[in-house]
A and B are shown apart, each in its own frame.
Chain A
Amino acid sequence: MKRARPKDWLIAGAVLLLRRDRRPPRLKPGEREPVVPAGEPRPRAELLALFLLGAGTLCAVAFIAVYAIDRIPRQTQFLGLSLGLSLLFVAAALIVTAKRLVVTEEIEDEYPLDEHPDEQETVLAAVEDSASRLTRRRLFKLGLAGAGGALFAAFVTPVASLGPVLDMRRFYDTPWRRGKRLVDEHGRPYRADQIEEKTFYTAFAEGSDKEQLGSSLVVVRLPKDDLRLPPENSGFDADGIVAYSKICTHAGCAIALYRVPLFPPAEPKPALVCPCHYSTFDPSDGGSVTFGPAGRKLPMLPIYADSRGQLRARGNFDEPVGPSWWGVRMKRPT
């Protein structure tokens, strides 16, 4: 018996919610006369409206689910579809309710205005009585609240993209440790003599997940005389080769543009540029922001060339990697 209890509660709750109210609105002592004549119940229209509200709720929930699960192909289209259908269903439910369920009454006189408090009460009573056709009031209220709540939640969900709330560890976690080799996308280690000037290379931490935020690097070689690394970044370069996180500190796009002058006296200085919003970083002075919306410098990775000439990390980044969020400067990358 004890084990069946939650089930009983559920069934009882469901019956309470779903059952029809058979009671004709009886006048209790002290109750007022109905303003709007009671209408005949229309169970089919009521069911339809309830069904539409339920479908709208489900679609709004589906929007949240699609938003939460990144692996869904064509995610954007599904986001639009779910939210659009949800709005359509709720709109249809409201239309059915307005046209078929709410008791309407044509009145000859104009509606009373605000300055007549008594008549205002009459209007309120009229609104209350208009629902006389409904037989499942509780369920109807629940359906409305569910649809409204789910839609509101769907509208609010994208706020989650503004930054991590619960799990910030992955923003500080990087695969870089002292001695970790820099490899290309096929896993081949980079040698210092392969890195040429006036071009750029994408490198990853050996044996790491390339999708991990802290794994990818952009590597360039600058003339050693042009390097003006600040004191805290001194010794981060391997004989003119500098390595920065490839993830822009603004919105987390990949830094895919390397602006490098063919003829330095007459052309713009070397710069790492993010194609999304044109945040521009100076590779010669530790990755400071020279243009664009990025709010902090590009994280720099200290590197060295080992005895075989292969590039290795000397340690971890000097700054947290990835797009900025409110806790960005709380810790050092690990």
Chain B
Amino acid sequence: MRLRLGLLLALATVVFATSAPAAPPPVQQGKHLYGEYCVACHGANGSGITQAGNRIGAGPGRSQTQQPGVAPSLRGVGALAPDFYLRTGYMPLAHAGLQPRRSRVLFSDEQIRALIAYVASLGKGPPIPTPHPAHGNVSRGQALFTDHCAGCHQIVGEGGYVTDAVPPPLEDATATQIAEAVRIGPYVMPRFSPRQISNGDLDSIIAYVEYAKHPDDRGGWALGHLGPVPEGLVTWFIAAIVLIAVCVLIGKSLRDEAG
């Protein structure tokens, strides 16, 4: 009897314990995840850490096992920034100071939504944008992309280099991610306000980037979209083969004459 009661009690505890964490709103779950993966660099409640010496964490024991890095405050970034950084795999970063790169997304969709809800709850900020590339104009998008983006990202979005950073290729960027990156300016990218690039212009730019993922290559040969250098190299290779062929022919005819 006593055993049965104990069992029942244990069962009740288990049911209560498992049903309780499933119930909390995503903000609560997000806060837990934040504490687990983000707080070391972004600080308590997304306050940010701007000096390496300024350690935020629990007790002394914790700060020894977890080296805090420096990272910006997340207050007021809204849902837009966490949606971008988490769905591209830019975050979490291995350690502060690295350039965030597109990588495997480590969180499940549910976890990402929870983290977004939590970060968005930290302060008033922009929501996740909903671009409409179908409304955009590819040709105008190309002109805008040439003006604002191609300097770093290359004219068909192959990516490139600036000193001390690597502008990423855009082949995997979704429409939403492009819209988000333009407004955030991740890492060393400039930020473009709606006054500089209106949402309509942004639709055109996205339409162009979508086109540039599979551009209509003249001659059907992309050559890495790297421009005149590989094209020139190919010409030289073809010319070299033709020249060798001519040499062989001349040599052969001379030998035939002699023989």
Contacts and interface: CB of A to CB of B under 8 A. Distances in A.
A199 B51 contact: no
A273 B50 CA distance: 26
Interface stretch (A19-27, A57-65, A251-259, A306-314): A251-259
A210 to B, nearest CB: 13
Contact of B188 (A267, A275, A278): A267
B191 interface: yes
Contacts of A201: 196
A263 B190 contact: no
A130 to B, nearest CB: 21
A155 interface: no
Contact of B71 (A266, A290, A292): A266
Contacts of A290: 163
Contact size class for B? 20 to 34
Q: Which residue among A256, A257, A261, A291 has the maximum number of chain B CB atoms within 10 Å of its CB?
A: A257
B152 interface: yes
Given A199-B185, A275-B160, A292-B163, A265 B51 contact: yes
Interface in A85-99: none
B58 interface: no
A243 B240 CA distance: 49
Interface in B179-203: 184-193, 195-196
B97 A199 contact: no
A55 interface: no
B72 interface: yes
A267 B187 contact: yes
A280 interface: yes
A223 interface: no
A266 B69 CA distance: 9
B151 A259 contact: no
Contacts of A292: 163
B164 interface: yes
B242 interface: no
Given A275-B151, A291-B163, A199 B71 contact: no
Tell me if B's interface is mostly helix, strand, loop or mixed: loop
Given A257-B162, A265-B50, A266-B71, A199 B151 contact: no
A262 B186 contact: yes
Interface string A180-206: 000000000000001010111110000
Contacts of B190: 198-200, 258, 260
Interface string A259-293: 11111011110010101001010000000001110
Contacts of A263: 70-72
B193 A196 contact: yes
B94 to A, nearest CB: 13
B96 interface: yes
Nearest to B72: A263
B142 to A, nearest CB: 15
Nearest to A261: B188
B93 to A, nearest CB: 10
Nearest to A279: B163
Nearest to B81: A262
Contact of B196 (A199, A265, A275): A199
Interface string B202-237: 000000000000000000000000000000000000
Contacts of B163: 259, 268, 271, 273, 278, 280, 290-292
A268 B162 CA distance: 11
Q: Which residue among B97, B151, B161 has the maximum number of chain A CB atoms within 10 Å of its CB?
A: B151
A311 to B, nearest CB: 16
B243 interface: no
Nearest to B93: A266
A268 B165 contact: yes
A265 B69 CA distance: 10
A198 B151 contact: no
Nearest to A194: B195
Interface string B54-87: 0000000000000001111000000000000000
Nearest to B167: A257
A183 to B, nearest CB: 15
Contacts of A275: 151-152, 160
15 contacts: A196-B195, A198-B185, A199-B191, A256-B152, A257-B162, A259-B188, A261-B187, A262-B72, A263-B72, A265-B50, A266-B96, A267-B188, A268-B165, A268-B188, A275-B160
Interface of B: 50-51, 69-72, 96-97, 147, 150-152, 160-165, 184-193, 195-196
Given A259-B163, A260-B190, A263-B72, 18 more contacts: A194-B195, A196-B191, A196-B195, A198-B191, A257-B152, A257-B162, A259-B162, A260-B185, A261-B187, A261-B188, A262-B72, A263-B70, A265-B50, A267-B97, A268-B164, A268-B165, A278-B163, A292-B163
